[in-house]
A and B are shown apart, each in its own frame.
Chain A
């Protein structure tokens, strides 16, 4: 054939090489791998939503403490989200060294589904592995324009309540149970309590998946008249977003919320971080840890180590516990929050 293939069109070749050039540049971007020259040990703490500020300061303190006592440089990674969602992630393979979640049930779920830690994990550290506690309070707009002073007032007409979803958020489960406990005390029967909680949840216009999402909905987006929140989250919102706009209302009765901590044995053994992770959690119970917890609006289990001015912020009110009123988390979870449980039922009922 008398056809020669010399340069069919110089233009084409150039533009093709342009395409190839883009490809090469794009691929070259892959080479510097994002890993931070892993020379030191890293600990991954998977936590729930409102602990961000606490652990940021606590981690700094612990890194320094560890450096001084062992000479070893460590780094601590954090992951935050709704407690149920975080537990789910650990079950699905997020390799946390320690879990610091909003309630014991979520850690029980990890123990049952993965065997990454023993079933009696809660007995390994003092106070049922709970270094700090909190209660459920109300956050309202400045001046309390709707006159919300106790749980009963929430059911007044025209009031919109903001709380996260109890299916995904630990804080929301405490909210729900606190409301239930109040109605139980006030009206004396489970049936009345159920009616009370049903009415309450029908007044919720936005059900976020985590506590911080709800705080933003209430504070930033200005939706709702009252936010049911962790005491620590309410104080933090007040501090971050201005005491001119909001105020905290403490109801006559609340629930003692105990967010526990644990190491995930299988993961720490794999990473060789068991000792480090254990001491990290024990440091939460140390005077430094307790002082930081109180500073970040958590009620320390050893108040003697906290700054007295921090403690003054916590009013003394009647508190019920999950064990006394609800027979423990396993029972409460099965009754109220499992699929088809009371929460699912009341959510489908008409008010």
Chain B
């Protein structure tokens, strides 16, 4: 670089430091302050509030909130719903990703768009479609009710709605990575005599395992935190069809603030744990694959439902 300056005095062996630019200090400091203020206002304060409200009447009252049978039932139901929805969406997500990333077929773009629908649709609508489909006023729903099969306002409805809203996560996280990796390795495996499933489980899946795991974590967080869609199909029967987020609302409406925030703190801990797992997975994947192409793309961001 040439500079319009008098020849510099000899630098007596000191390492050349770049001239300090005034903007170099001010702008980052400003940006960090703004970000921190923003985070404090919208993230830290609410987080702290959840725990202070939960512990306002002491730890004994806080702990007592967990001995309520309705609370335990809500926790159990939430775990059950996640335990059904997450594995199913894992299998679906892998199938869809495999098909989309490694094979050519007509309507591929359409399939990708369809997978995105649950992210685009408001959760209320996600619940409502199942009420319309399986409710007592639909042909199908009336038949099922006659056969004593209760879908809506019972656990199956809650599971269906949860599967719907958490459907995209595994597929969405896996597809871009699988596509980026191309099909050379698979072709090599096939040439060497591996069957399609052997190729998938020994070549394709191991290559994307961190992305899959990442998708599973997000899927689980949403499955446990979902409020809107589940609220529509739940029927709100205390101790039977209330998931944890719904139970928080009920407790709050019953002026039982300590218990409401105790349950909310559980959901908050879940969110924090999700973040922790997420960063562990990101860290591991970076170590496992230094090649930037194979890093986990973060297309979908975790948005656990806001509590209360």
Decide if A276 is an interface residue (CB 8 Å cutoff).
no
Partner of A95, one of B77, B90, B153: B153
Partner of B77, one of A15, A16, A19, A34: A34
Instruction: Give chain B residues whose Cβ lies under 8 Å from the Cβ of A91.
Output: 136-137
Minimum Cβ distance to chain A for residue B244 (Å)? 13
Complex CA gap A12/B205 in Å reads 10
Spot the interface stretch: B40-48, B115-123, B248-256, B290-298.
Answer: B248-256
Decide if B152 is an interface residue (CB 8 Å cutoff).
yes
Residue of A at shortest CB range from B257? A220
Partner of B237, one of A32, A49, A78: A78
Q: Are A81 and B236 in contact (CB under 8 A)?
A: yes
Please judge, given known A-B contacts A26-B86, A29-B79, A34-B73, whether A93 and B153 are in contact too, CB under 8 Å: yes
Q: Are B83 and A29 in contact (CB under 8 A)?
A: yes
Q: Are A26 and B193 in contact (CB under 8 A)?
A: no
Minimum Cβ distance to chain B for residue A221 (Å)? 11
Among residues 225 to 265 in chain B, which have CB atoms less than 8 Å away from a CB atom of chain A? 235-240, 250, 252-255
Please judge, given known A-B contacts A34-B73, A213-B253, whether A19 and B209 are in contact too, CB under 8 Å: yes
Minimum Cβ distance to chain B for residue A243 (Å)? 14
Complex CA gap A79/B255 in Å reads 16
Please judge, given known A-B contacts A30-B83, A34-B73, A114-B136, whether A1 and B192 are in contact too, CB under 8 Å: yes
Q: Are A79 and B137 in contact (CB under 8 A)?
A: no
The total of chain B residues at the interface (CB under 8 A) is 45
Contact residue range for chain A?
35 or more
Q: Are B137 and A92 in contact (CB under 8 A)?
A: yes
Residue from B192, B193, B201, B240 with most neighbouring chain A CB atoms (10 Å) = B240
Q: Are B87 and A26 in contact (CB under 8 A)?
A: yes
Residue of A at shortest CB range from B131? A92
Among residues 178 to 194 in chain B, which have CB atoms less than 8 Å away from a CB atom of chain A? 192-194
Decide if A245 is an interface residue (CB 8 Å cutoff).
no
Decide if A80 is an interface residue (CB 8 Å cutoff).
yes
Decide if B206 is an interface residue (CB 8 Å cutoff).
yes
Instruction: Give chain A residues whose Cβ lies under 8 Å from the Cβ of B137.
Output: 91-93, 113
Q: Are A77 and B238 in contact (CB under 8 A)?
A: yes
Complex CA gap A28/B194 in Å reads 32
Q: A residues bordering B, Cβ < 8 Å? A: 1, 3, 5, 8-9, 12, 15-16, 19, 22-23, 26-30, 32-34, 36, 44, 49, 52-53, 77-81, 89, 91-95, 113-114, 212-213, 216, 240-241, 270
Q: B residues bordering A, Cβ < 8 Å? A: 73, 76-77, 79-80, 82-84, 86-87, 90, 131, 134-137, 141, 145, 148, 150, 152-153, 155, 192-194, 201-202, 205-206, 209, 212-213, 216, 235-240, 250, 252-255
